[in-house]
């Protein structure tokens, strides 16, 4: 447990920031799942439009350093490749 006033305040702030980051991370995962669902449905046009929306979400979360930029790039690359592989 934190002993100083400053450490107690930092602990409170950490809890609040963790909750905020968790929400954003969840939003990113949901965006990725929407793209995967569109790919599995087989509609390339819908998949591309959903992919464009999810890219901005993934990029904004990477910019805020909630996930690493390379992880964001990996997600975008794999989703893009899956869409391109659709016949």
Amino acid 66: pLDDT: 96
What is the pTM (predicted TM-score) of this model? 0.85
* Domain count for the chain: 1
C-alpha distances (whole Å) from 87 to each of 42, 64, 82 are 9, 36, 10
Domain membership of residue 41 as a residue range:
5-84
Amino acid 37: pLDDT: 96
Amino acid 2: pLDDT: 83
Which DSSP symbol is given to 42? T
The pLDDT tens digits for 9-67 are 999 999 999 999 999 999 999 999 999 999 999 999 999 999 999 999 999 999 999 99
Residue 87 has pLDDT above 90, yes or no: no
CATH classification of the domain holding 34: 1.20.58.110
Say if residues 35 and 54 touch (Cβ distance below 8 Å).
yes
């Amino acid at each position: 447990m934190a002993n100083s006033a400053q450490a107690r305040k930092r602990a409170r702030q950490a809890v609040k920031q963790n909750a905020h980051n968790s929400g954003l991370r969840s939003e990113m995962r949901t965006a990725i799942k929407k793209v995967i669902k569109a790919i599995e449905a087989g509609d390339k046009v819908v998949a591309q439009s959903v992919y464009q929306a999810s890219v901005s979400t993934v990029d904004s979360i990477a910019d805020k350093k909630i996930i690493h930029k390379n992880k964001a790039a990996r997600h975008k690359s794999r989703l893009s490749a899956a869409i391109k592989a659709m016949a």
